[in-house]
Structure 1
Amino acid sequence: MLRDYYPAAATAWAHLPGGLTRPEARLILTAAPTPTQATRLTRRRLETLLSSAGRTRLITAEATRLHELFHVRALRQPAEVEDAMGRHAAALLTQLDATIASAHTLWTHIDAMAEQHPQTPIYRSFPGMGPLLAARLLAELGDDPHRFPTPRNLRAFCAATPITWASGTSHKVSHRRKANPILAETGHLWAFATLTRSPGARALYDRRRAAGDHHPAALRRLYARLLGSLHYCLRTGSAYDEDRAFTASPEPEPETEHGT
């Protein structure tokens, strides 16, 4: 919607984590929901809004950047249309604020509940495993350490192993697409997060990319390896160990996926 009448606001925070969901973005858009109102914001007013939103660093530089951006000449909608779209945007911002507040409340509750579970320290000991990912995995896998007899059973349940199709001389290995969507998404996020937190995970990912795997396939291979370590830790009640996970007795890797 902003691209249709307020392009400066659509791009002002696009390069920053969170984008329009950032507190300063929502507060400034609430104060100036139209480009005409944005041009009336002084640098001092922008600094005040940034401070009110919780920003503590580079306030003057950020206020100057936004002030210059809001004063760049651009095509405008007719005044009446711009005002109507601004009111619509303000209503949407109210809904966005409520959604973010509800999500934060839910996240806090989930984190508090998960911390009470005895298996949470095991999950959190893994690299890249934040409180939300740990709670998701714990909720989907359950807390029975003997639910999955082997690591292969756990990988299959989490869609981390490919499917092999064989008929006569035909043989095809493909990605398992029908799976629990929460586990599939969690695995992708978890494996991606380990790339900057675990040297062993990064080395495995790089080897798979060098062997011809695309990015999603390499992450699934890494996810499968992490699940093997998680299975062992849950069965033995031990915390994650980087050396044992990636250097001691590496497990055989599954077959190469084709067409991913």
Structure 2
Amino acid sequence: MVPRGDFFLTRIQVQGPGQHVLEDCRRGLLLFSDTKTLRVFNPMTHRVSSVGQLPRRRGRDADHRGRTLCLLPDGDDPDAFRVMSMQHRNGHKLARLEVYELEQPRYQPGATWPRFTADSIHLRCTRATESFENAKTMTFSDVLLPPGVTHQSAYSVGETEDGTCCLVHVFQDGGWLMQVWRFKLGDDHDSNGAQMWELERQVPLTLGGDSVDQVRAIVGGIVLLCFNSSSSYQHHIAFRLKSLKVEADFMCRGLARPFVIE
């Protein structure tokens, strides 16, 4: 499958000045943007879908800046998607989510970066909460982070191999430790948010002398860690959450993203 794929992106053509920016990577699809166009590319099927750049709002909403563009899965079809735009205002104190095909944008204070698991969107906030948005109803719920986890901690929200929402927290206590917290579905989000997380396990990690910078993502039970570096190339490792087996160990310039072939 990999030799058949177009991972050199030969079918992507830049329109106008500048270059393509990788905005998101989800369910085997890549979302690129340039100055004029959004393109969704499936490297395995070589299919390219082009969409005009989403319009910026005028009037009182024009002060939202710093858009982050994401793919929003639409049903079980791997090639079906919508585009979500997240825009910041007032120094990132207020963020607006827009899922195109919806009539009204939704607002959420202090959100920084969206993650997706199943039918939920997870926004890592500047305070000690995760904001969970139901992608079907477009309603927000704030959930406190588990004990010992803050917005400055090395953690991320994602999903296990079976699709269960989880939070992975990596920290140092003598040596490096990893906590895996599972999100308890069906509980009342308006109650004590700390009770929404259940500690599944805590295990030591052997990371040599490297210092963890961040848990970049958890996709399909694969955890991607990146490490502090004094150069422009960052050390990354990807390992399986279930077995802790390392699947990839590499250096790359900038931030890596998991690409899962479905």
Please give the range of the TM-score, normalised by the shorter of the 2 chains. under 0.3
Structure number with greater CO (CA < 8 Å, separation at least 6) is 1
TM-score w.r.t. length of structure 2: 0.24
Structure of larger gyration radius: 1
Q: Flag the structure with higher helix content.
A: 1
TM-score w.r.t. length of structure 1: 0.25
Q: Flag the structure with higher strand content.
A: 2
